[in-house]
Structure formats: C-alpha cells, structure tokens
Structure 1
Amino acid sequence: MHKSAKELKKKIKIKYIGENGLDAGGLLRDFFYQISKEIVNPNYLFFKYTNDKSYELNINPISGLNEPNHLKYFKFIGRIMGLALLHNQFLSVNFSYIFYKKLLSRNLSFKDLIFLDPELYKNLNWLKYI
C-alpha cells in the first residue's frame, strides 16, 4: 500500500516462502488467483451476491459494520485490481455490471435495476403502465 505508482509499474516477481523456483509467469498467475479468492471471501463480508440467482458481486453496504477499516481494505482491493490490469493478469472475481458502471463513474438508470433484481424491475415496470 505504501508503494508509489512508479514502483507498482515495475515487473512483479513472486517467490513463495520455502519454495525454490523461478517465476516464469505461473507464480504471478497463482498469486492473483489466490488473492482474488481472498478478496471475495464471504467471511470478510466486503461483497455480496447481487441476488439469489446470480454469482455476480456488489459491494456489501454493511461491510463497515463487520470491519471498521473497511475503506482501507477497499483501497487495497482497488490497487490489486489495478495491478492485475497493469500486469495482464486475471482476477477470478465476477463483479456485477452495476459495480463496473460505478467504477467508471457512469450514472445509473432505472434500466440498470434489471441487473440487480430482474423480478423487481419487471414488477416496477408493470406498475408504471397501470
């Protein structure tokens, strides 16, 4: 967290404690895979599924109740996402369309509700035309 942007742009070399070997890319991929599993670990309550029928994640609005320093963790998660993009790595995390839209500072509209709760969207649309 204390590294500058210039330092973060340097090549990342991963070495696991107690394991000998060179990182030919596999260790870096494994590092991002392992950290992405921890990012969405349900025990931390940072993210929640958008609805019961989806595996897409949104920020959990009550994450601050479980962890008072939750904003620092979200900043860390953002840095990890940036590092993954910068180093062409994959995070095995399924964030929702809404999450990405907010990440890009795009305005949400009523039509976006379909991505959070399709049933609610359908019912509210039906009420609109009564």
Structure 2
Amino acid sequence: MPKHLILISALLGVLATGCASQEPLETTSATSPTSASAPVNDRTVIAEAVGNASAGSKPLAWANPETGSAGVIEHVENTTGQETGCRKFTTSQQALGGKTRFDGVACPSGQSWKLSGESAD
C-alpha cells in the first residue's frame, strides 16, 4: 500500500474517533461583557469628552451607544476659584425624550472625570 494512502487512512481513523467522542464544553470561565462592567451613562460620556478636550476647543461631538444619546459640546473653558483643574462647558443632548442643553462642570477624579451641573433648558 502506498505511503500516502496509509497516512490518509490513519488520519481518517483519528478524525472518526474524535467525532465519536463528545465532551461537554467548559463554560465556567465565560463571562458576560455586561456583567463585568457597569453600564456607561450619558453623564460619564460627557465628562470624559470634556476631560479630553482643551479649553477653547472647537465644538466636539459625543455619543453613547449604550443609551442612544448624542450631542455636541459647544464650548469648554477652564474654571477659576475653588474648582482647580475643572472645566465649564455647554452641551446639547439628543435622547429619546427630546433635545436639551446642559451647562455643567467636569472635574478630574482619579483616572477619570466626574460631572456636576444643571439643565439649562
């Protein structure tokens, strides 16, 4: 018998044996991507966008794919006084409930930015 036929026969035998064996799938290490981290809200997305912008920057678009909201940060300026390192801003917010404008202040907080503010419209 030629060598290539012996090799093919051996390979088919291994494959047939592997197909007959059914072992359960291991799922203990699988985790849902949403269970590992908290959902990102619009305030977090806006705060990070303001934190990554520089004072006096051009209008900056933001979007949150988790909520479907989006908007444009119209202006960013550094704050003075007690809020050292913070930035004031105005943004629009288009969501299922309609369009609003939001004036706020974003401040550094550890490795991220936190937002505080009130709705202007």
Higher helix share: 1
TM-score (norm 1): 0.26
TM-score (norm 2): 0.27
Higher strand share: 2
